[in-house]
């Protein structure tokens, strides 16, 4: 069973490359609502990771930092999700894993999903919502319907204060927090999702779990 799971992860990552290429196209091309790219400007002082960035692991002594610019509606990000989770399990005591928002304009609910995660973060539940959005992606992703009610349902399942959640979801500061990540991403050359940085260096997406693990192991051995 473990071997089957491993092969499924590898297969998912191998097809993810197509999704990244498609994501890059969606970033630069008009979507079906007439949008022409992200409505933000590149940051003048861009950084791959900031103090405010969401860390999925916080080792006492971090030896490496891996940053992912992601879109919760992106199928490629969904394919990499179990890979990142497995790597977190193996290296979470040595590597800092960071998630940053980069919703693509071609996705109807990508930006809303990012605000949903940030609204959950305001109540200390970022990682729980991060997991929820990816594990349920097939239920709401690639839809032209507005999924706010679905996301509110997830918030209720996570036990969030719904009054505070709704207020945060509508708060311009929450939308601005998402755009701050987008601005950094644009300035750093992010064109599609997922895009990974390893210790501030943008890398080509590893083609498999084994390749990603080998990259991490090599960096840790340096």
What are the tens digits of pLDDT across the range 135-190?
999 999 988 899 999 999 999 999 999 999 999 999 999 999 999 999 999 999 99
The pLDDT of residue 19 is 45
The pLDDT of residue 222 is 83
Q: Tell me the pLDDT band of 38, cut-offs 50, 70 and 90.
A: low
Average pLDDT over residues 205-222: 96
Structure-token pair, residue 101: 């928002």
Q: Tell me the pLDDT band of 29, cut-offs 50, 70 and 90.
A: very low
The pLDDT of residue 14 is 47
pLDDT at 34 over 60: no
68 vs 93: CA distance, rounded Å = 18
173 vs 92: CA distance, rounded Å = 30
158 vs 59: CA distance, rounded Å = 25
Q: Tell me the pLDDT band of 13, cut-offs 50, 70 and 90.
A: low
| Sole residue written with tokens 């969030």 | 160
Q: Tell me the pLDDT band of 32, cut-offs 50, 70 and 90.
A: very low
Sheet holding 201-203, edge to edge: 54-55, 95-101, 64-70, 195-198, 201-203
pLDDT at 7 over 70: no
Q: Cα-flanking dihedrals φ and ψ of residue 196, to 5°? A: -110, 145
Average pLDDT over residues 109-115: 97
Q: Cα-atom radius of gyration of the chain, to the nearest Å?
A: 17
Please check whether residue 66 is in contact with residue 96, taking contact to mean a CB–CB distance below 8 angstroms.
yes
| Sole residue written with tokens 């509110």 | 152
> Which residues make Cβ contacts (< 8 Å) with residue 221, sequence separation at least 6?
none
Q: Cα-flanking dihedrals φ and ψ of residue 9, to 5°? A: -65, -45
Could you write out the DSSP letters of every residue in 16-53?
A: HHHHHHHHHHHHHS--TT---S-SS---TT--S--TTS
Q: Cα-flanking dihedrals φ and ψ of residue 91, to 5°? A: -120, 10
The pLDDT of residue 205 is 97
Average pLDDT over residues 52-60: 98
pLDDT at 9 over 60: no
The pLDDT of residue 161 is 98
Integer angstrom CA distances of residue 171 from 44, 178, 182: 24, 12, 17
Q: Tell me the pLDDT band of 35, cut-offs 50, 70 and 90.
A: very low
Q: Name the average pLDDT for the chain.
A: 88
């Amino acid at each position: 069973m473990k071997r089957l799971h491993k092969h499924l992860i590898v297969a998912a990552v191998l097809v993810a490359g197509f999704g990244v290429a498609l994501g890059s196209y969606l970033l630069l091309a008009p979507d079906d609502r007439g949008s022409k790219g992200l409505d933000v400007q590149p940051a003048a002082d861009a950084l791959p990771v900031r103090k405010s960035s969401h860390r999925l692991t916080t080792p006492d002594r971090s030896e490496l930092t891996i940053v992912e610019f992601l879109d919760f509606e992106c199928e490629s990000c969904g394919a990499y999700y179990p890979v990142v989770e497995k790597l977190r399990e193996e290296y979470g005591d040595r590597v800092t894993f960071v998630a940053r928002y980069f919703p693509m304009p071609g996705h109807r609910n990508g930006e809303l999903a990012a605000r949903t995660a940030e609204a959950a973060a305001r109540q200390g539940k970022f990682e729980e919502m991060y997991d929820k959005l990816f594990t349920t992606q097939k239920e709401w992703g690639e839809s032209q319907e507005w999924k706010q009610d679905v996301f509110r349902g997830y918030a209720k399942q996570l036990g969030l204060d719904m009054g505070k959640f709704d207020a945060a979801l509508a708060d311009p500061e929450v939308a601005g927090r998402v755009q701050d990540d987008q601005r950094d991403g644009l300035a750093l050359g992010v064109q599609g999702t997922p895009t990974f940085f390893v210790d501030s260096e943008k890398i080509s997406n590893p083609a498999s779990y084994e390749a990603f693990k080998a990259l991490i192991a090599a960096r840790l051995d340096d």
